[in-house]
Amino acid sequence: MAGTKQIHGARVVVLRLDGVDPSVAAEGLRSLGMIHAVGLADQGELSLHVEQGRVDVIVVAAARAAPDPVAPAGALPRPPDAALRSGIPCLLLVPAFSRAVARAALTLGYAAAMSADAAPRLVYRRVGALMQRVRRSGRARDVAGETG
């Protein structure tokens, strides 16, 4: 079960922009076996973790949902610049999830979005799926580089 071991060793940062204690959010993932989950409330500290290569996935908890269902992108936080530059997938958690919010999140550069009240087990599974997607795309690039 190589996949299970990889997800347990995942370096996940939970960035809380909603005022909730970040250590509480990370504890939910640690209780499921992600022993390296860290909770942060400061984007500057996040950038330091990214620069040091200590991040596989970032979970961003937004302060509030977008008030405008037609054009919600302006009300959502952008993924951290350090993550975008490094190609680290970001999962957005929003209080009032909808298809419009999901589309807006993808437009902004998030790899996925889901409801902030999702159980830690669902967040765990989504993080695992994002890690698998990164591994697959990395293998595809490696194969393309070898043949080209």
Mind listing the domains of the chain with CATH numbers?
12-64+74-146 (3.40.50.280)
Residues 90-116 have pLDDT tens digits of 999 998 888 989 999 999 999 999 998
Q: Taking the CA atoms of the chain, what radius of gyration do you get in angstroms?
A: 15
The C-alpha atoms of residue 92 and residue 104 are separated, in whole angstroms, by 11
pLDDT tens by residue, 43-55: 888 888 998 888 9
Mean pLDDT for all residues in the chain: 82
Is pLDDT larger for residue 4 or for residue 19? 19
- Give CA–CA dist 6/57, Å, rounded: 12
Average pLDDT of span 23-44: 88
Taking the C-alpha atoms of residue 40 and residue 144, their distance in angstroms, rounded to an integer, is 37
- pTM over 0.75, yes/no: yes
Which of 2-11, 63-72, 105-114 shows the lowest mean pLDDT across its residues? 63-72
What integer pLDDT is reported at residue 73 of this predicted model?
54
Task: Give the per-residue pLDDT at 139.
Answer: 53
For residue 13, what pLDDT is reported? 92
